[in-house]
């Protein structure tokens, strides 16, 4: 699928992996709608790339429905969706002094990372099914999982479970949407230089980067965006979760 002139939606598109993706898609001629809660950064990114910003909580059913309709009115029906919105909480199942993991924190991780992904995916997919195919396909949906889905570390029970759910829904939804010519693929990034990572001291960033076999550094958001482009362009990529991690396998802690 060629991106020039097509409408695309990127959740979490204000910064980080989503921001890099929004920029690359726009540079290739796509009309990009950014869904994010950070209005200040989101509006600035949208203005930079000539796109549109919509303040959206991906867990809010009505808000997502409204935003998808507004993005369609602005740019036409989305042919590409990239779900990058997410959080990465860290908490042990049993903390100090035998305190159990906060159920609210666990629920929040699942609500945003898994349910939020499905909420946007289902609504955008429903709209994709109504448009004519472009060649042999109607659209492409790309979700963001994590290597934590496969080798989650101590303290990542909520995060790993939520991202494992993203991996788990990829194939069944790809199989279901195949009849409509819509592909579904997930990317499982390793250690990337996202805004959360940039909040760590430089020596911590360097130490984490050295854990990656090759290249021996943190991933760059632009490299995530490059894989998004490859997935969109290659029609045989479907129903798969692709690790993007420099061959890292995370240690227990």
| Per-residue pLDDT, 248 | 95
| Per-residue pLDDT, 196 | 79
The active-site residue out of 159, 182, 190, 232 is 159
What digits encode the pLDDT tens for the residues 113-172?
A: 999 999 999 999 999 999 999 999 999 999 999 999 999 999 999 999 999 999 999 999
- In a domain? residue 249: no
- In a domain? residue 2: no
| Per-residue pLDDT, 63 | 98
| Per-residue pLDDT, 183 | 98
- In a domain? residue 224: yes
- In a domain? residue 189: yes
CB 186 within 8 A of CB 240: yes
Per-10-residue mean pLDDT for the chain, 253 residues long? 96 97 98 98 98 98 98 98 95 94 97 98 98 97 98 96 98 98 98 86 88 96 98 98 97 91
Q: What is the CATH number of the domain that holds 221?
A: 3.40.50.720
| Per-residue pLDDT, 195 | 85
Is 224 one of the annotated active-site residues of the chain? no
Q: Ramachandran region of residue 76, left (φ > 0), alpha (ψ -120 to 50) or beta? A: left
**Size of the chain in residues:** 253
How many domains, the chain? Answer: 1
Average pLDDT, the chain: 96
What digits encode the pLDDT tens for the residues 156-165?
A: 999 999 999 9
Q: Helical H runs in 29-180?
A: 39-49, 61-75, 103-109, 116-128, 148-151, 157-177
- In a domain? residue 222: yes
**What is the arrangement of strands in the sheet containing 182-189, beginning at the earlier edge strand?**
52-55, 31-36, 7-11, 78-83, 139-144, 182-189, 241-244
| Per-residue pLDDT, 123 | 98
Range of the domain at 192: 7-244
Residue for token digits 């100090």? 96
């Amino acid at each position: 699928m060629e991106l020039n002139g097509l409408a695309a939606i990127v959740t979490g598109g204000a910064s980080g992996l989503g921001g890099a993706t929004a920029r690359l898609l726009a540079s290739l001629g796509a009309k990009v709608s950014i869904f994010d809660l950070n209005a200040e950064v989101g509006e600035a990114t949208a203005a930079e790339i000539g796109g549109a910003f919509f303040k959206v909580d991906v867990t809010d059913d009505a808000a997502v429905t409204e935003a998808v309709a507004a993005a369609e009115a602005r740019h036409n029906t989305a042919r590409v969706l990239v779900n990058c919105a997410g959080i990465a909480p860290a908490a042990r199942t049993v903390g100090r002094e035998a305190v159990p993991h906060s159920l609210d924190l666990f629920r929040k991780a699942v609500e945003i990372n898994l349910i939020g992904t499905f909420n946007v995916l289902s609504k955008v997919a429903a709209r994709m099914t109504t448009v004519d195919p472009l060649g042999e396909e109607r659209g492409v949906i790309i979700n963001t999982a994590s290597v934590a889905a496969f080798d989650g570390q101590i303290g990542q029970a909520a995060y790993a479970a939520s991202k494992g759910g993203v991996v788990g829904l990829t194939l069944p939804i790809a199989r279901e949407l195949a009849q409509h010519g819509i592909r579904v693929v997930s990317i499982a990034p390793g250690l990337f230089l996202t805004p959360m990572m940039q909040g760590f001291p430089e020596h911590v960033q360097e130490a984490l980067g050295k854990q990656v076999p090759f290249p021996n550094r943190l991933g760059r958001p632009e490299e995530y965006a490059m894989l998004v482009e490859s997935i969109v362009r290659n029609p045989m990529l479907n129903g798969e979760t692709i690790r993007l991690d420099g061959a890292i396998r995370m240690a227990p802690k």
